[in-house]
Amino acid sequence: MIIVLKSDVTQNQIDHITEKIKSLGLTPMISKGVEKSIIGVIGEEDILRSQPLEVFPGIEKVIPILAPYKLVSREFKSEDTVIDIKGVCIGGKKVVNIAGPCAVESYEQLKSIAEAIKKAGSVVLRGGAFKPRTSPYSFQGLGEEGLKILRRVGDELNMVIVTEIMDARDLVLIEKYADIIQIGARNMQNFTLLREVGLSKKPVLLKRGISATIKEFLMAAEYILSGGNFQVMLCERGIRTFETETRFTLDINAISVIKQKSHLPVIVDPSHGTGKWNLVAAAARASIAAGADGLMIEVHNSPEDASSDGEQSLVPEKYIELVQTLRSVAKAVGRDL
């Protein structure tokens, strides 16, 4: 349920309304817009049906939210959410490029890649310290040592860093080093983890599960927002279909569908979405044309020697070439890159 407040509502009136909502065992979430502010009510809405909230001073109207996801929906917030991370804004007019290796392997490796992607205009560096692998015998990441390398390179080059969390027990450790916490596709419905990052003050990059519907994807994001963390970015990274020519099927439709249903920024990962380096460029261009707010692309200076996902990684030179072509696409759809 959404409570639309009058333009001249006072803070005392807002406090009175929220106290009433809390007394009913529900949770009020205040969203202040440019013209009007609203209060989203989280909980069992049937409790409110017998409550004449419209008579409260400061309330203009009460609107039920039909979608099962409340805080994520456009009904709750009509304007796009823009997340500011150390001056890097995600969700605005500028398309943000996130790039880096799948896994942090060494300081020298990461520094070399980071310098190349920054030269191309990237301001967000990605890299895995804890790697979720299908086989328990595959490279699992450097752990805290990888986090330290990420933070060191990020500080040296003045770049925002994003890395994946695998276990809720690692949250405090990852918060110490990362600027953005990534929740991977395998953990999209790890509700314990979602609740924990919902209590975090760090922005969250939530990837769509490989077999998740858009509704399930948005409901996963709802878990995070319901915990109080509204700094959430949604990442389309391809879903599993019957097609075998590519690693996954990048759902370009999802970009515009999510944009219609939610105010949260949408990032696209064409590296996982295709699984082949020579398909990444086309998928990246299509993503920007469809309205993506950012791209996450895997870059490695020696893909044949990469510890993971070398087959879908661009070498720095190819990445620099790609970014140049992406600027033309962004300009054509009224965006900057």
Cα 67 to Cα 73: distance, rounded to the nearest angstrom: 7
Phi/psi of residue 274, nearest 5 degrees? -110, -40
Phi/psi of residue 250, nearest 5 degrees? -70, 120
Answer CATH for 2-63 from 3.30.70.1140, 3.40.50.720, 1.10.1740.10, 1.10.3720.10 = 3.30.70.1140
Cα 181 to Cα 195: distance, rounded to the nearest angstrom: 13
Cα 158 to Cα 190: distance, rounded to the nearest angstrom: 32
Average pLDDT over residues 249-267: 97
Cα 328 to Cα 321: distance, rounded to the nearest angstrom: 12
Closest CA to 193 of 166, 161, 230: 166
* Confidence at residue 24, expressed as pLDDT on a 0 to 100 scale: 86
More confident residue, 82 or 136: 82
pLDDT at 244 over 80: yes
* Confidence at residue 54, expressed as pLDDT on a 0 to 100 scale: 84
Closest CA to 116 of 157, 145, 177, 164: 157
Q: How far is CA 160 from the centre of its chain?
A: 14
Cα 198 to Cα 224: distance, rounded to the nearest angstrom: 4
More confident residue, 312 or 25: 312
Contact by Cβ (8 Å): 300, 106:
no
- Transcribe 124-173 into DSSP letters: EEE-BSS---SSTTS----THHHHHHHHHHHHHHT-EEEEEE--GGGHHH
Q: How far is CA 143 from the centre of its chain?
A: 22
Q: Which two tokens stand for residue 235?
A: 């990442």
Asked whether this chain's domains 2-63 and 83-332 adopt the same fold, the reply is no
Contact by Cβ (8 Å): 32, 45:
no
Average pLDDT over residues 121-148: 80
Closest CA to 101 of 68, 158, 139, 64: 139
pTM of the shown model:
0.88
Average pLDDT over residues 4-16: 91
Angle (CA) 24 25 29, round 5°: 100
Q: What CATH superfamily classification does 83-332 receive?
A: Aldolase class I (3.20.20.70)
Q: 3-state class of 258 per DSSP?
A: helix
Average pLDDT over residues 40-59: 79
Q: pLDDT, tens digit, for every residue of 151-161?
A: 999 999 999 99
Contact by Cβ (8 Å): 171, 197:
yes
What is the identity of the amino acid at 125?
A: L
Q: What's 43's DSSP letter? A: S
Kind of pairing between the strands at 37-42 and 27-32: antiparallel
Share of residues in the chain with pLDDT > 90 (%): 75
Chain mean pLDDT for the chain: 92
Q: pLDDT, tens digit, for every residue of 191-233?
A: 999 999 999 999 999 999 999 999 999 999 999 999 999 999 9
Q: Domain-by-domain residue ranges, the chain?
A: 2-63, 83-332
